[in-house]
Amino acid sequence: MGIKITGTGSYIPKSVEKNEDFHQHQFLNADGSTIDYPNEVIVEKFKAITGIVERRYADDQLVASDIGFLAAQKAIDDANIDPETIDYIICAHNFGDVKANTIQSDILPCLASRIKHRLRIKNPKCVAYDILFGCPGWVEGVIQAQAYIKAGMAKRCLVIGAETLSRVVDKHDRDSMIYSDGAGASIVEATDGNDGILAHESASFTYDEAYYLFFGNSNNKDLCPDTRYIKMHGRKIYEFALTNVAQAMKDCLEKSGVDISEVKKVLIHQANEKMDEAIIKRFYRLFKAKAPEGIMPMSIHKLGNSSVATVPTLFDLIRNNKLEDHQINKGDVIIFASVGAGMHINAIVYRY
């Protein structure tokens, strides 16, 4: 028996926020002081580090569960399955449904229940629940789906990653330019053959690293001190990811028994172009090899960092030939990998 992703779908919001749109923002240092150089310089430095040119924001009338539903419906259609046969719906997110221009998260009921409701699934034995696992949430959801199938508790699962990060950012923080909105979904099920998921690796580093990403006050000290926004210690995250993500990918690949020369693509969480490039180089160096040209597809330039949605969206784009110069063929070995708040890391080796 193999455990495969048989259908994918994604929702990419239509609203485009370009780097130039930030030229009029009031960016401040963490202590509230004025930054000494103009926004044009701030934005250009940001682009050089992250690779981001533009990002997508969800329309005001949509929340995370709405766009998660839209991605899920596409995945169900792509897999050509009856949604009533789904055993588990696992929805990864970090902030729940946040309505536009509000500061409150809504996770009652959970997003997976809302999405199941929107899909009009009647079967009460289709269990719907959420997973909060930072940016690696969708990858972890796939790992959990695989575990249910291996244990005989399920035959078919729907795994979703949906996020509207644009609604939890501090607009006075330069890091706010990283974040975007989006959703990706997949059907994971048991199939004949030995392809699909070959190995996985997960880890939670919390002893010193738990608060590398956190909720904190705005850089604008005139705003309400009781309102919190997504914040991060960027340099610490970079150094942590460089060492630990590459090692997790190595451990996962060795567990799979696949030689590194067989790996055709590495689909890594779209957090920061420079960081992702450094991780890939470190990963191949661990095998005393050089990273092949085109091994790491990137969507961050146009889509930004949509947290749990980056990896499933990237996979969906490639499967549907919507990412220029990248394709996956039957039998190809790919690696999914992610890192995020927790600090959590995971990886999957997958034969397509």
In tens, the pLDDT along 115-166 reads 999 999 999 999 999 999 999 999 999 999 999 999 999 999 999 999 999 9
Q: Is the pLDDT of residue 52 over 90?
A: yes
Residue 103: per-residue pLDDT: 84
Pairwise CA distance, residues 282 & 276, whole Å: 10
Q: What is the mean pLDDT of residues 26-39?
A: 90
| Confidence tier at 193 by pLDDT (50, 70, 90) | confident
Residue 187 phi, psi (nearest 5): -100, 125
Pairwise CA distance, residues 241 & 284, whole Å: 15
Residue 1: per-residue pLDDT: 82
Residue 277: per-residue pLDDT: 93
Residue 2: per-residue pLDDT: 93
Residue 36: per-residue pLDDT: 87
Encode pLDDT of 210-252 as tens digits: 999 999 999 999 999 889 999 999 899 999 999 999 999 999 9
Strand partners, 7: 187
pLDDT over 70 percentage in the chain: 100
Residue 29 phi, psi (nearest 5): -70, 165
Q: What is the mean pLDDT of residues 15-25?
A: 92
Which residue is listed with tokens 């180089």? 281
Pairwise CA distance, residues 322 & 316, whole Å: 8
- How high does pLDDT run on average in the chain? 95
Cα dihedral 237, 179, 170, 172 in deg (nearest 10): 90
